[in-house]
Amino acid sequence: MLVGCGSGERAQRAEYAVFGTRVEIVVRDADAAKTAAAFRDTGALLQRLHRELHPWEDGDLMALNAALAAGRSIRTTPAIAELIRVGQRLERASEGAFNPAIGRAVSLWGFHTSDYPITEPPPSDAEIDALVFARPSMRDLELDGLRVASANPAVRLDFSGLAKGYAVREACRTILGHGIESALVNAGGDVLVCGAGSGPWRVAIRDPGGGVLETLTVERPLAVFTSGNDYRYGEFDGARYAHILDPATARPVDEVIQATVVAPDPLLADAAATALVVAGSGRWRSVAARLGVARAVVVGADGKLGRIDDGAHGTR
Ligand code: AMP
Ligand code: MG
């Protein structure tokens, strides 16, 4: 854990290297002892979730995946059980664009790594089509309390499109539980404002071409999540492929290069941002509507911006 001094006198910061990124917590207007205790508990929480939800290193999620692949049922953790329930709902609501059961396809494309860009050749059509044919879906999972079983051994859970949303929600709960009123969690550009206290936070949405697309002034608990062609991509023979796959084809998407979703629920914001990238130029508006997304900014491969702002989730 790295703790830095705040830019302003009243801001205190902590940083943790988890989920393949840096998670930064900023607390304002709180005394040092309270803040130190909140940082300690939040750090422990994030480390635990990092291990528990890791998509390819040993931990609870990998134990679950091994059991499902072998056709066995297994007792999992409350966090994973909640992510399964939320994932089932969001797969349905996104018309299949968001599907955390496609971990085998993510792995096949080489995205279970921390080394980017990937320079391995892409998988063969035969390998990819075998996964399309196997149709792994969250619907295949049956949850009885904490016990999970799968009707389909091709299901491999990868919550990378949802875990940060879960983690920032839990981090904010921990911080607020220490009596801190003004705090923000920034998970590598995906932000949850826990509370604004006396003044607003400024949250920037980056421009995929560099710089800032727009800056939001946020005065209440709100999540701002962005998905897209960031540094996580593969490059082979001059062609780039994204780390976001269309579950229907098990292949990388290319129509939408970045989607930002603003919503009170960080799990929805996280999954919906991924889903809008998958849904593509023709379908992102209808998928956003079905997911109940009231605010989004979408950047197409042609550089064109699309927006939804129905006024329901204002920042104040
Ligand atoms: P995010 O950065 O939140 O958009 O999540 C992207 C990550 O989620 C990828 O690196 C994959 O591990 C996983 N993923 C890729 N495609 C999908 C998809 N269609 N639905 C759910 N998760 C996905
Ligand atoms: Mg996501």
Output the pLDDT for position 2. Answer: 35
> Which residues constitute the domain of residue 177?
1-316
Considering only CA atoms, which residue is closest to atom 1 of ligand 1? 161
Probe residue for ligand 1, chosen from 95, 243, 277 as the CB with the greatest number of ligand atoms within 8 Å: 243
Q: What is the 3-state secondary structure (H, E, C) of the chain?
A: CECCECCCCCEEEEEEEECCEEEEEEEECCCHHHHHHHHHHHHHHHHHHHHHCCCCCCCHHHHHHHHHHCCCCEECCHHHHHHHHHHHHHHHHCCCCCCCCEHHHHHHCCCCCCCCCECCCCCCHHHHHHHHHHCCCHHHEEEECCEEEECCCCCECCCCCCHHHHHHHHHHHHHHHCCCCEEEEEECCEEEEEEECCCCEEEEEECCCCCEEEEEEECCCEEEEEEECCCCEEEECCEEEECCEECCCCEECCCEEEEEEEECCHHHHHHHHHHHHHHHHHHHHHHHHHHCCCEEEEEECCCCEEEEECCCCCCC
- Tell me which residues of the chain have a pLDDT lower than 70: 1-9, 231, 313-314, 316
| Per-residue pLDDT reduced to its tens digit, 27-73 | 999 999 999 999 999 999 999 999 999 999 999 999 999 999 999 99
| Per-residue pLDDT reduced to its tens digit, 198-225 | 889 999 999 998 899 999 999 999 999 9
Q: Which atom of ligand 1 is nearest to the CA of 230?
A: 2
CATH assignment at residue 264? 3.10.520.10
Q: Which atom of ligand 1 is nearest to the CA of 247?
A: 19
Total number of domains in the chain: 1
Ligand 1 contact, 104 CB (< 6 A)? no
For residue 57, how far is its CA from the centre of ligand 2 (angstroms)?
Answer: 20
